[in-house]
């Protein structure tokens, strides 16, 4: 894997974080080093918000010839699994980034963190508290009212050391005791009011097994891991801004020279019609509202990949939305625009019919197969051309025919002539219906002189239809995806469950669709533009005898329309 984004893809535009980095580089701080880290908790799959953070952390390091570590925050074994670790690594690589030999886990530092906690006890800066979490929380006070000191706050160093060792040895049950820092119960910053450093959890860890039954809290672990790894810029989301004084306090107790990592916060990504909480996404998975973490309706990186999003489209989206210090809501249409823009340049064009209506061209020779020249991608002349088989019987979209068409309907109707893309002019001569009066077949005649879509006599037709041969095709299942939620902000209703706003029509499955033979050897994740219909890609559910396509995006671009493009 290469750590470089392809040259045609800009890394990351300068933002306030880059301004900070450049100021420090100009001042000679950290010996000119830039070293970032991406620290996911392996308790779920990554989503588009994490992708923004990945692009920012790796992109910043690349911009200044630095390094990025991948470090898993695995301090809560009750929620973490190896499956999540593997998925995170796959997603980061797929997005185009690599961490070289710098793969770390918070659990790599469990011994050092334990030693540091012991050091704090010896210095009188930490103590064992026998109170339960609810009691401790009730004693925290408010930002304007000091908290109450624990009755165990004045325990001796010797007693605290003894209890902490016994906690580690498993003598106490879950929740019976915790280790707390001794800082300031009157601090205006609630996070400085004797925060918990360690809690008892008799749960096997996915890497360390049963070695530990006490685990460090995130606030205690991540800053120290940053320090030991030589991180220069600890970039995190805005909710950690109030944690920064605690981050710095721990570093101050640990550092032995002038080096210290700097925490910088930025606004997290919020998307319309989307939930970004891993807890809520896990709820959707567990309750089977979706097929899994990689369901193409999910905002997870794996779901977006399966739906047909490209790494370039996500990186370009992350660049477009920028990096700010103010929370806001990004229109999901901008994400959809990014994938359309990318696929428009690279997706192979083919013709597919999703709701087929058979057309018999009565004056076309039976058994004849003609090969029509078709353009693979008008945006990329180097993509060349392909051959599309044309036969007496074809399929068109059912919506492209109306028995009694209105004045501005320029597609097929009785007695009307239209152009078949890359083929001939055809005129509808007869409509065949079943016993219920449903249209089951159309009869048309074709003009042999109009091959290629133009007539020598110069007559014009207003309608051009896509089509697929009824005998030379690939039958496929097509899954049409829509947004998972109908409400712009499903999290914005405090008195209602976010699942109440789920879109019951977020997935429509079409079983008998017909695609031109060009796609027959396609593999999972191959992308196509089905002409006039949208962008589609091959799903991993595909089998040798039945391809499955996911609709990545429709052709209509609402975001570009809003921008007046």
Structure tokens at 53: 């953070």
Dihedral sign for Cα atoms in the order 235, 237, 238, 241: negative
Q: Is 187 annotated as a binding residue?
A: no
Q: What are phi and psi of 522, to 5 degrees?
A: -70, 155
Q: Is 397 annotated as a binding residue?
A: no
Choose the catalytic residue: 244, 278, 349, 392: 278
Whole-number Å distance between alpha carbons of 338 and 318: 10
Q: Is 277 annotated as a binding residue?
A: yes
Q: Is 517 annotated as a binding residue?
A: no
Choose the catalytic residue: 37, 41, 155, 477: 41
342 close to 312: Cβ distance less than 8 angstroms: yes
Decide if 168 is catalytic: no
Q: Is 52 annotated as a binding residue?
A: yes
81 close to 42: Cβ distance less than 8 angstroms: yes
Q: Is 41 annotated as a binding residue?
A: yes
Decide if 41 is catalytic: yes
Q: Position of tokens 């902490």?
A: 164
The three-state DSSP-derived secondary structure of 168-207 is HCCCCCCCCCEEEECCCCCCCCHHHCCCEEEEECCCCECC
Q: Is 1 annotated as a binding residue?
A: no
Q: Is 564 annotated as a binding residue?
A: no
513 close to 353: Cβ distance less than 8 angstroms: yes
Q: Is 539 annotated as a binding residue?
A: no
Q: Is 43 annotated as a binding residue?
A: yes
Q: Specify the 3-state DSSP secondary structure of 349.
A: strand
Whole-number Å distance between alpha carbons of 425 and 464: 9
Choose the catalytic residue: 140, 268, 387, 483: 268
Whole-number Å distance between alpha carbons of 102 and 67: 9
Q: Is 237 annotated as a binding residue?
A: yes
CA angle 360-366-372, nearest 5°?
Answer: 80
Q: Characterise 227 by phi-psi region: left (phi > 0), alpha (psi -120 to 50), beta (else).
A: alpha
Whole-number Å distance between alpha carbons of 522 and 288: 29
Whole-number Å distance between alpha carbons of 550 and 545: 17
Whole-number Å distance between alpha carbons of 216 and 223: 12
> Considering only CA atoms, which of 183, 79, 196 is closest in space to residue 134?
196
Structure tokens at 33: 């080093």
Whole-number Å distance between alpha carbons of 295 and 539: 11
Whole-number Å distance between alpha carbons of 252 and 180: 17
48 close to 265: Cβ distance less than 8 angstroms: no
Decide if 397 is catalytic: no
Whole-number Å distance between alpha carbons of 427 and 442: 10
Q: Is 53 annotated as a binding residue?
A: yes
Whole-number Å distance between alpha carbons of 101 and 63: 20
Q: Is 42 annotated as a binding residue?
A: yes
Structure tokens at 43: 């308790």
Whole-number Å distance between alpha carbons of 359 and 392: 8
Q: Is 215 annotated as a binding residue?
A: no
Catalytic residues: 41, 268, 278
| Residue set of the binding site for ATP | 41-43, 47-53, 237, 268-269, 276-278
| Residue set of the binding site | 41-43, 47-53, 73, 218, 237, 268-269, 276-278
| Residue set of the binding site for L-glutamine | 73, 218
């Amino acid at each position: 894997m290469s750590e470089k984004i392809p040259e045609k893809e800009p890394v990351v535009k300068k933002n306030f974080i880059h301004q900070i980095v450049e100021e420090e580089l100009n001042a000679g701080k950290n010996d000119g080093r830039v070293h970032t880290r991406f620290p996911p908790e392996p308790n779920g799959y990554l989503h588009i918000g994490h992708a923004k953070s990945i692009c920012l952390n790796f992109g910043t390091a690349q911009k200044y010839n630095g390094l990025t570590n991948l470090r898993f925050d695995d301090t809560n074994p009750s929620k973490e699994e190896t499956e999540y670790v593997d998925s995170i690594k796959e997603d980061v690589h797929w997005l185009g980034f690599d961490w070289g030999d710098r793969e770390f886990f918070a659990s790599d530092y469990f011994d050092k963190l334990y030693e540091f906690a012991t050091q704090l006890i010896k210095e009188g800066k930490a103590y064992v508290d026998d109170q339960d979490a609810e009691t401790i929380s009730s004693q925290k006070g408010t930002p304007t009212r000091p908290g109450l000191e624990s009755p165990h706050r004045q325990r001796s160093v010797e007693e605290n050391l003894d209890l902490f060792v016994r906690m580690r040895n498993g003598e106490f049950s879950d929740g019976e005791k915790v280790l707390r820092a001794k800082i300031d119960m009157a601090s205006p910053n609630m996070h400085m009011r004797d925060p918990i450093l360690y809690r008892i959890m008799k749960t096997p860890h996915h890497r360390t097994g049963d070695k530990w039954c006490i685990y460090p809290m995130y606030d205690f672990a991540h800053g120290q891991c940053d320090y030991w790894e030589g991180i220069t810029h600890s970039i995190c989301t805005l909710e950690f801004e109030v944690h920064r004084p605690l981050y710095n306090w721990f570093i101050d107790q640990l550092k032995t020279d002038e080096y210290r990592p700097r925490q910088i916060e930025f606004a997290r990504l919020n998307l319309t019609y989307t939930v970004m909480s891993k807890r809520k996404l896990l709820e959707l998975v567990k309750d089977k509202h979706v097929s899994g973490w990689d369901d193409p309706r999910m905002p997870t990186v794996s779901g977006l990949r399966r739906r047909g999003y490209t790494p370039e489209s996500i990186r370009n989206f992350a660049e477009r939305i920028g990096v700010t210090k103010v929370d806001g809501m990004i229109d999901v249409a901008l994400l959809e625009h990014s994938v359309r823009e990318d696929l428009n340049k690279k997706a192979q064009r083919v013709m597919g019919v999703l709701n087929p209506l058979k057309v018999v061209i009565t004056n076309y020779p039976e058994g004849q197969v003609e090969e029509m020249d078709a353009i693979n991608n008008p945006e990329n002349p180097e993509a060349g051309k392909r051959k599309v088989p044309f036969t007496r019987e074809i399929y068109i979209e059912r919506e492209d025919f109306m028995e009694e068409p209105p004045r501005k309907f320029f597609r097929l109707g009785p007695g009307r002539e239209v152009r078949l893309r890359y083929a001939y002019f055809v005129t509808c001569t007869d409509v065949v219906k079943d016993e219920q009066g449903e249209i089951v077949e159309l009869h048309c005649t074709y003009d042999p002189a109009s091959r290629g879509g133009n007539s020598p006599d110069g007559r014009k037709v207003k309608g051009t239809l896509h089509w697929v041969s009824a005998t030379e095709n690939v039958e496929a299942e097509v899954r049409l995806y829509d947004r998972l939620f109908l409400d712009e902000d499903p999290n914005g209703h405090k008195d209602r469950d976010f699942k109440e706003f789920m879109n019951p029509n977020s997935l429509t499955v079409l079983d008998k669709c017909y695609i031109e033979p060009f796609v027959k050897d396609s593999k999972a994740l191959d992308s196509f533009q089905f002409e006039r219909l949208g962008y589609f890609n091959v799903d991993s559910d595909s089998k040798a005898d039945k391809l499955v396509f996911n609709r990545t995006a429709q052709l209509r671009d609402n975001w570009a329309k809003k921008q007046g493009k």
